[in-house]
Structure 1
Amino acid sequence: MHLYNAWLPPPVAQETKREKDSFSRVVCSVKNSFKPDDPDSVYSTLKWISVIDLIISILETKREKDSFSRVVCSVKNSFKPDDPDSVYSTLKWISVIDLFIKAKSDVSLEDVSTLVEIGLELFKNSQNKLYAQVRWGNILVRVLNKYRKKLSLKVQWRPLYDTLVNTHFTRDTGPEGWRLRQRHFEAITSLVRSCRRFFPPGSAFEIWSEFSDWIKSCIDLWDSMPNCQFWNSQWAALVARVVKNCNSIEWECFLPTLFARYLNMFEVTV
């Protein structure tokens, strides 16, 4: 064990032993990527340079904040708001950011805030680029969950809502397969949960106001369906959540329909 790590608590000191293994795996990956009989294979090794540089920076703890700042700056410079396709040039930095999170590095909160703001901007401007949104969505969830108590942000809920509706609740004949769409749905729902604490005051009322117009459509749709215990339980759970959390809806006009549906659920003979 290095003398610099001797003062650490035993569990933490034990974890530092994995640094050598991590670096060894990177070196092995570089070695396997390069084929001496194929000069062009050198390009496949370039992706590891930033990782090697980062590991060295992490081992030199005094440089952690500067290294993270450089990564954030690189992401910011790679993304051009007027060029939606520039989001792809930022994806190479996600694994580097992930490494900082796993390393529990002491980074600047200002840089973390900047990274989150850039990431959300990238996510918003990457409509119909599901793979890019999945990658950025997942890393943003990890960053927000780790620093949620230390950050002071304002995140607008509307862009997330629009992305969710446009991607998963409208007909789209895009080339993405079912698996990627499923990953995207999981990523955006997780991102919404992580961002909720950063929504501006009054967002809850705005969100419920958005859904209040849906209630009539939902109940009409439920009423048009045959009696089915599975779907009845799903619709009943949805209505129960709305009743519990929203006080702005007049329920009197819906009572006859709801009474009939609940009567069918109990299978009471009339």
Structure 2
Amino acid sequence: MFSLFIFLSFLHAQPLLSLERIRDILYQSHPDQKVRYDDMLGEGENFFDDDPRMNWNDVNCTTWWQHVIAKGYAKTDREEQLFLDRIRYYDGVIGFGTRKHFLDRALDLDPVPLRNIDTHNYLMCMPDQKKSVDLTLNAFTKNKRFSCPLYKPERIRSTFSYFSPNALLSCAPHLPSGVYVIFPVAMNRYIEVWGKQSGPMGRVHGLIFDKEDTYSQVYHASVLEKQIQSMTLLEYVSSGAAGLFEGYQIYMLEPVFPAIQKETIHHQQTVDCERKMRKASPNP
């Protein structure tokens, strides 16, 4: 729990989002960066998954946008690690069981630092679709050979509103200048290709939408192309995504990184179980 207390004290500094830092990252080329299907991050030494907790040069479609957002709030490498932990783990508590494995659960339970766009002020930005998905956590933990509980294992149903492709394209021009995160909503075809180990999913992948008054662009880590790609929102929606995604959900970024929630009982039980399992089987 040491990381949790560090983070509680650290947040008193009121870290502010820097759109300039995010845009600098998006506009620069990163020739050493590799995009892979697998998640190359873990919890570090002495955890169930001992891969490093931060690796900018090896990313997948999720860890890429998580890194970019963390960099947008951070001024130092240490701050970046702390923010990345908070983005990737429920309440910033490090452990395989407290990692945000399912995007649907993460967005429902602890979306920090994302928040829904203000649809009341933008009448052209009203979601026109709704979906429910039942997640199969047991199948995921079985495939990973992880015998401890995940965070709040009873939360398996996710219900959310989202934009159809046409509704998103109608909304986007009316959004104020800023940086947004967009999550596609998976069709069955996407699950057949990418969900063999995880089972059903609703929201997947992750796009960063840079919206300016005279310019807008979408960026994402393409597993198929093995690189970071950029294009207009129309180009993305009209591309191969048309056969994989039925719609999109869009989020804003909090201007100040939110304070942490103080729910630790379940965290402690999960982390303790993982430590016992690690001692019993040091090479899972």
Taking structure 1 as the reference length, what is the TM-score of the superposition? 0.29
User: Which structure has the bigger radius of gyration?
Assistant: 1
**More helix per residue:** 1
**More strand per residue:** 2
